[in-house]
């Protein structure tokens, strides 16, 4: 894969208001920690701990982190969780894993017939999501969750 040939399917970049990033081990424990750290960070950003959007964000983080550990794992490498609070209360979740050559299914899960439930959950809870290359060899799966009910 050459970086020149890759289409980047991310929305126009928006300057985040606040950001958090953490490198984690590509283990079940690392995936669990991703979810716990995400909730703590959202609470630090004054999202209510038991709020519907906080729970939605936690579920999205959990599914993307689980996928990074199961499908995006490479020996000796970890994965990175990123959270960015955007204007208008949107939250962008990013999970970067080292298997850049392994894309996600080309179709959205609702079109995909048999498959897992992780991306179906992400698709249901996120306003938008996708994958983009993270040069030179990794990829970032991202999802956006709104902070308040539309």
Interacting residues toward ligand ATP by CB under 6 A:
63, 67-68, 70-72, 97, 99, 102, 104-105, 109, 115-119, 141
**Measured at CB, which residue is nearest to Mg ion?**
118
Phi and psi dihedrals of 25, rounded to 5? Answer: -75, 150
Distance in Å, CB of 59 to Mg ion, minimum: 12
| 118-137: contacts with Mg ion (CB under 5 A) | 118
Give the DSSP per-residue string, 38-80: HHHHHHHTT--TT-HHHHHHHHHHHHHHHHHHHTS--TT--EE
Query: Among Mg ion, ligand ATP, none, what does residue 54 contact (CB within 5–8 Å per kind)?
Result: none
Stretch that binds Mg ion, among 10-18, 54-62, 66-74, 97-105 (CB under 5 A): 66-74
Distance in Å, CB of 38 to ligand ATP, minimum: 17
Q: How far is CA 80 from CA 100, 110, 138, 141, in A?
A: 13, 27, 11, 10
């Amino acid at each position: 894969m050459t970086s020149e040939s890759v289409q980047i399917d991310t929305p126009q970049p928006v300057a985040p208001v606040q950001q958090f990033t953490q490198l984690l081990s590509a283990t079940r424990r690392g995936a669990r920690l991703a979810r716990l750290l995400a909730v703590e960070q959202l609470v630090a950003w004054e999202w209510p701990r038991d709020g519907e959007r906080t729970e939605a964000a936690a579920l999205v983080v959990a599914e993307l982190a689980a996928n990074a550990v199961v499908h995006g794992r490479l020996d000796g490498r970890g994965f990175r969780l990123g959270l960015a609070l955007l204007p208008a209360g949107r939250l962008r979740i990013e999970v970067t894993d080292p298997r850049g050559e392994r894309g996600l299914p080309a179709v959205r899960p609702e079109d995909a017939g048999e498959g897992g439930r992780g991306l179906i959950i992400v698709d249901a809870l996120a306003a938008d999501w996708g994958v983009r290359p993270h040069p030179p060899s990794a990829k970032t799966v991202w999802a956006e969750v709104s902070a308040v009910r539309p």
